Structure 1
């Protein structure tokens, strides 16, 4: 690889911004192309980074998720060195709750599993403990009375917009070139050409992070990766005169979640709508689902104000695993997509990993389970 090569990253979400920033930190010439599509998952997202207490994803999901969670320490330190402290990432702890006796009984086995992950060195879950109903409500006062759970002090929350914006600012400080517009790929002999609104951009090596719009972008290269959009609707609520900054993330034996931020802001979500395609709108049914799930877990939120609702399209693969690696037949093109509902957990690490692959570096994590070649 020559330091004079031109790198192009397509996709201005968390993954693309992280890839572009990583390349800029290496001192390379990078152009990041972003079109700010409606429904971009990063712009809607607010998530928890606590894979150490996850218990429902497929087995191959965990190595990537654990590596991604560990990477946040490195990333935030690098951003801070570049003058970016408003990253939207904060450690707040997490609480895996049980809503009935059957779920409460399962907490014992989960505690053993979570502690084993710490003992094995897979991930540091800190000093885990089962908390009774009183302890759970002290941690998160709006909770349903009688709720118990497992508390982890290491869970973190992420505001997707703030993190993406901090990455972009740091990228520009490092001399990166940001282009707004719709990127298109075309084939010119053995090369891939990149144009934006009719203007060509030199591209010796390309990182593609197009999220839910992967299929359309790849079609000119003869690839049809099976990435589909899953619509997610979520709601931001406000608790007046309440310090929510130390509230933990709430998860459990259900797909919904509650993410607290400072200033009384609580995020509840999210729907998982596989058949909505790119229908960018909030629906009555989606709003009802989000509110009902939130109030079932935390009825104390009933008097909260509705601050805003958001809609985003998660890029899902058929096996619910990310897609990371060089495109077959196009060694100069690296794809990073398919993160699904793990975009804010994995996005920075996946983007940075794609950047490393683009410059020909070896990565420590076995990427075979995430290779795009698995969809031949």
Structure 2
């Protein structure tokens, strides 16, 4: 058994805490509750198989993340969790025909190796509207039965509650590294010094400041996302599929008429969490173009979240350069809720000396740091 401190309780940190506690380790999870945490603001779409991204390392991580979800949800439910925020509802990817042709071709190439994808079906505009009633009459879609939706705050909270049931301790506070002879040995939080066998950084968009006392610059920056919350008069939305629409936008229906639409991808906004007219207009313009029925929904609010991103657009995981006890994973960007639980599990395995299921050399942590020797 190892003593493990995990800094950051977003989706990666919460998953790492759950897995490490399940494996019998002494776990302390610390979070300072920064405003705009991506996990809490987001609605996730688990459907990596139709992505047009060509990076194979990204696809391997995302597809493994999708495959891990049913296993994880079964475990959480066995521990008494009733509200995990995850539900397999399928997806309709609504686009023009030429885009759908490419999407379907890519998905069918991947289908044999990803049975969790389920069935693929090309839908006419009328068939699309039958499955997703807010759709318009101009576009058909590609339906993927194995796709799922995720409520970010619900899955995070379920992981944290489960970790606590397994003995983990949760502390709200601002953790600073304790350093001896250039090595991180523990943290100071709320005036208390805590030593540990292993320290895990899962601080998302805010993680860089943790490493400054070590002379390391972590090249993770915030990417701002504005997200809209709507309320439908139709209460049957809980069984509707997720809708992906052009320009990287999505519409995620939840139970009782609640709908989330988004999101912007703002790379130079820093941690400015204000909602903007331009951001809201961008989301509404793109979503209403293909789902005009959404125009009648009540606008009930909006939120801002900050995705952790790097210039390479590829996440990293590993032992922090030059550090014996310090490990980190980060930079999932918009894939956080798809791959986060799986990456958190791999991070816990790595830190505790277990063999990972993932070839972490594909997600090189040294490239994420400046100042590392």
Q: What is the TM-score normalised by the length of structure 1? A: 0.95
The Cα of 1:57 is off from its aligned counterpart by: 5.8
Task: Quote the residue 1:128 is aligned against.
Answer: 120
Matched residue SS, 1:235: strand
Mapped to 1, the partners of 2:267 and 2:74 lie a distance apart of 37
Mapped to 2, the partners of 1:349 and 1:144 lie a distance apart of 36
Task: Quote the residue 2:31 is aligned against.
Answer: 34
Is residue 71 from structure 1 mapped to residue 63 from structure 2 by the alignment? no
Task: Quote the residue 1:51 is aligned against.
Answer: 48
Query: Contact 2:246 / 2:286 at 8 angstroms: preserved in 1?
Result: no
Task: Quote the residue 1:350 is aligned against.
Answer: 343
| 1:261-300 deviation digits (Å, cap 9, x = unpaired) | 1111111000111111011221122111122222112111
Query: Contact 1:11 / 1:209 at 8 angstroms: preserved in 2?
Result: yes
Is residue 178 from structure 1 mapped to residue 175 from structure 2 by the alignment? no
**Among 291, 303, 307, the residue aligned to 1:314:** 307
Matching of residues 151-162 of structure 1 within 5 Å: 151-162=143-154
The Cα of 1:149 is off from its aligned counterpart by: 1.0
Is residue 142 from structure 1 mapped to residue 134 from structure 2 by the alignment? yes
The Cα of 1:152 is off from its aligned counterpart by: 0.5
Is residue 263 from structure 1 mapped to residue 256 from structure 2 by the alignment? yes
**Among 276, 281, 285, the residue aligned to 1:288:** 281
| 1:209-235 deviation digits (Å, cap 9, x = unpaired) | 000012111111222121000110000
Is residue 112 from structure 1 mapped to residue 91 from structure 2 by the alignment? no
The Cα of 1:173 is off from its aligned counterpart by: 1.0
Query: Contact 2:230 / 2:259 at 8 angstroms: preserved in 1?
Result: yes
Matched residue SS, 2:65: helix
Mapped to 2, the partners of 1:106 and 1:305 lie a distance apart of 31
Is residue 230 from structure 1 mapped to residue 223 from structure 2 by the alignment? yes
Q: What is the TM-score normalised by the length of structure 2? A: 0.95
Query: Contact 2:7 / 2:13 at 8 angstroms: preserved in 1?
Result: yes
Task: Quote the residue 1:23 is aligned against.
Answer: 20
Task: Quote the residue 1:304 is aligned against.
Answer: 297
Mapped to 2, the partners of 1:322 and 1:191 lie a distance apart of 23
Query: Contact 1:115 / 1:125 at 8 angstroms: preserved in 2?
Result: no
Instruction: Call closer, same or farther: CA 1:241–1:95 in 2, change over 3 Å.
Output: closer
**Among 154, 159, 163, the residue aligned to 2:155:** 163
Query: Contact 2:51 / 2:103 at 8 angstroms: preserved in 1?
Result: no
Task: Quote the residue 1:188 is aligned against.
Answer: 180
| 1:51-97 deviation digits (Å, cap 9, x = unpaired) | 01211363321000000111111111111111112100000001111
Query: Contact 1:93 / 1:153 at 8 angstroms: preserved in 2?
Result: yes
Matched residue SS, 1:124: helix
| 1:180-212 deviation digits (Å, cap 9, x = unpaired) | 100111321244331113211121101110000
Mapped to 2, the partners of 1:331 and 1:224 lie a distance apart of 18
Instruction: Call closer, same or farther: CA 1:43–1:106 in 2, change over 3 Å.
Output: closer
Mapped to 1, the partners of 2:202 and 2:184 lie a distance apart of 19
Matched residue SS, 1:331: coil
Per mean C-alpha deviation after superposition, the further-off stretch among 334-343 and 190-199 is 190-199
Q: Which runs of 5+ in 1 are unaligned?
A: none
The Cα of 1:250 is off from its aligned counterpart by: 1.3
Per mean C-alpha deviation after superposition, the further-off stretch among 109-118 and 28-37 is 109-118
Task: Quote the residue 1:362 is aligned against.
Answer: 355
Query: Cα RMSD between the aligned structures?
Result: 1.4
Task: Quote the residue 1:89 is aligned against.
Answer: 86
Q: Which runs of 5+ in 2 are unaligned?
A: none
| 1:116-158 deviation digits (Å, cap 9, x = unpaired) | 2112x14532220110111001011111212101101010000
